[in-house]
Amino acid sequence: MILAQPILIALLAAAVVVYFARLRSRSSDTFLIMVCFAVGALLVLRPALAQKIADLVGVGRGVDLIFYLAIPGLGLMILLLFARTRDLNLKLTMAMRELAISNARVFDSTKRTE
């Protein structure tokens, strides 16, 4: 076992712990995170497996395969975060409109204040 393997496993485990402790944890999210952790840990512990899978799909190196999978995954994550931010902005706008309407005062132009 090389030194990088336990470090990478610890980082993956820390990411899972932080996700569950600070972020949401619906059952589908839990399953997805656990699968990603298991695959990441497996590829860290058995780097030759990534090379074998890369050979099966016609990619030059295992590292290239991991990057080819990671880049669209990161793009999807960015899109999901953008969609969530947009949804939160819409909810905030609606709440502020309701607050403004409920606190609105009727202006009577016939009254003069001097």
Please classify residue 52 by burial: count the beta carbons closer than 10 Å to its beta carbon, then call 0-12 exposed, 13-18 middle and 19+ buried: exposed
pLDDT tens-digit series, residues 59-101: 788 888 888 878 877 777 787 778 778 889 999 999 999 999 9
The whole-number pLDDT of residue 78 equals 80
The residue among 19, 77, 69, 59 whose CA lies nearest residue 39 is 69
The whole-number pLDDT of residue 44 equals 82
The residue among 46, 22, 45 whose CA lies nearest residue 33 is 22
Evaluate if residue 3 carries a pLDDT over 80.
no
The helix (run of H) or strand (run of E) holding residue 20 is helix 4-22
Evaluate if residue 56 carries a pLDDT over 90.
no
pLDDT tens-digit series, residues 22-36: 666 567 667 777 888
Q: How far is CA 112 from CA 42, 96, 105, 107, in A?
A: 78, 31, 16, 11
